[in-house]
Structure 1
């Protein structure tokens, strides 16, 4: 059984952790607001999302947006502008709350119908000396249980997401360690 990679890129290989690629794909499915928080339109959209219900306001507070309702009202009315630090907190809280809200839907879609087929593209070895290159190929895997992966992604816990993803790719067999780092991972929900 292979071990975890400790010194990726030592010989010039390029890629990202598979769990980071999965998080990026899940983030795309979450459908975040594309207008930046620094623009008035983006700020208002995020504030409306975070204040549309008592549940949303509570989730925003738990996610780190700890300003008074009076301050939020002034921001919404355009009477005051949030500081750079507040803008970062708004963006962080928005992404956290959005991930939590979308997670249940994604789980239902990804686990439905016997799971979801995942395409794994190996890392880039073009800069690696020929003597050290591995024979890697595109792989696909049907992931039947996404619970741990989506739960860790929704919580923003990168180490738990990495552990959950490694537990998932072990199904590739004895070669799973070669796919801990990848150039891309693709799947649909």
Structure 2
């Protein structure tokens, strides 16, 4: 029987870990909760000021020149349909790439205390599951010692590698590790 057929809700653990790194990078660090105009201005400014911004723009199919980007930034011009979404995707990709070394350092610095960086693994949501089919799942804690491959896969947006790394991380969680292949949420402590 496949995941969710009895009403459980959640996502793959690797994807949840990537979303947690996204929250840490975009919501806590740069206050991503802004209006569309503010997000567009932030994305354009970031892409214009970073050395690899033009390459990232080309990779996302944006062929705008500096004058067009300046007009977008000053709100003299509005993006064509789909362009704002591509600009935000390009911004996020470049930001992930640029912040990855710092993020790895922050998460690995805690390693000096010989504890690793702790994550909280919240189980799938079982509100939609009949009581007779519910499992007794609890929030689990796990220390991660090697963040570099996780952050590299996250920065490259490689979901297959993230999922493989997740399977490797939970493989030592006793006999119930399969219960955490899908999760409700993952929090990174610290």
Q: TM-score range by the shorter chain?
A: 0.7 to 0.9
- Does the CA-based 8 Å contact 1:64-1:93 persist in structure 2? no
Please give the alpha-carbon distance, in whole angstroms, between the structure 2 residues aligned to 1:132 and 1:184.
21
Which of the numbers 78, 89, 103 marks the counterpart of 1:81? 78
Partner of 1:98: 95
Unaligned runs of 5+ in 2: none
Count of aligned pairs = 182
Which of the numbers 44, 55, 58 marks the counterpart of 1:58? 55
Please give the alpha-carbon distance, in whole angstroms, between the structure 1 residues aligned to 2:82 and 2:128.
40
Please give the alpha-carbon distance, in whole angstroms, between the structure 2 residues aligned to 1:171 and 1:81.
52
SS for the counterpart of 1:48 is helix
TM-score under structure 2 length normalisation: 0.84
Q: CA deviation at 1:178?
A: 0.6
Q: CA deviation at 1:52?
A: 0.7
Partner of 1:3: none
- Does the CA-based 8 Å contact 1:60-1:97 persist in structure 2? no
- Does the CA-based 8 Å contact 1:65-1:93 persist in structure 2? no
Q: CA deviation at 1:92?
A: 0.7
SS for the counterpart of 1:67 is coil
Q: CA deviation at 1:111?
A: 1.9
SS for the counterpart of 1:140 is strand
Partner of 1:19: 14
Q: CA deviation at 1:179?
A: 0.5
Partner of 2:140: 139
TM-score under structure 1 length normalisation: 0.85
Please give the alpha-carbon distance, in whole angstroms, between the structure 2 residues aligned to 1:102 and 1:29.
11
4+ residue stretches of structure 1 with deviation over 6 A?
A: none
Q: CA deviation at 1:107?
A: 0.8
Q: CA deviation at 1:63?
A: 4.2
SS for the counterpart of 1:174 is helix
Please give the alpha-carbon distance, in whole angstroms, between the structure 2 residues aligned to 1:63 and 1:151.
20
Please give the alpha-carbon distance, in whole angstroms, between the structure 2 residues aligned to 1:165 and 1:12.
23
Structure 1 vs Structure 2 CA RMSD? 2.0
Q: CA deviation at 1:77?
A: 4.0
